[in-house]
A = this chain, B = another copy of it.
Amino acid sequence: MNFQPYTREAVADLLRGHDITPTHQRIEIAFVLFEKREHLCADQIFALVNARHAETSKATVYNTLKLFLDKRLVRELIVDPSKVFYDPNTTPHHHFYDVDSGELTDIPADSVRVEGLPALPPGVVAEGVDVIVRTRRAS
């Protein structure tokens, strides 16, 4: 599911494929995320979706992002202390995070190897391994 759905119908199909009933609001939100393929936070999505005409409430943006997360249509990035970013790329990959600008850049997973991690405590299972390289402008 790493394609670029250009039309609303393609987005609706993508949603159905993830067991999400495609409503007008959900289609617009998914369209914004998959059109840009950028790391966006809730209020950017809210602004983009409502740029032309007011169509979607704040509550629905948050409800929908939580649903997308649950259905594995997007993934959550916790790197900024004040807001969550949503990543339309759910394939394993890592990130550069520029602490000055707040900019997030993808690092493809295939080149990176993380070795020597200790065994997990019993009764616990790994959900994912995130590598975040914090960067800043050279002194």
Contact = CB atoms under 8 A, between A and B. Distances in A.
Interface of A: 76, 78-81, 84, 96, 98-99, 105, 107-108, 111-118, 120-121, 123-139
A123 to B, nearest CB: 6
Given A78-B79, A79-B78, A114 B134 contact: no
A102 to B, nearest CB: 12
Given A96-B121, A127-B134, A129-B134, 14 more contacts: A78-B81, A81-B84, A96-B120, A99-B127, A111-B116, A111-B118, A112-B115, A113-B116, A114-B114, A114-B131, A115-B115, A123-B137, A125-B136, A129-B131
B114 A113 contact: yes
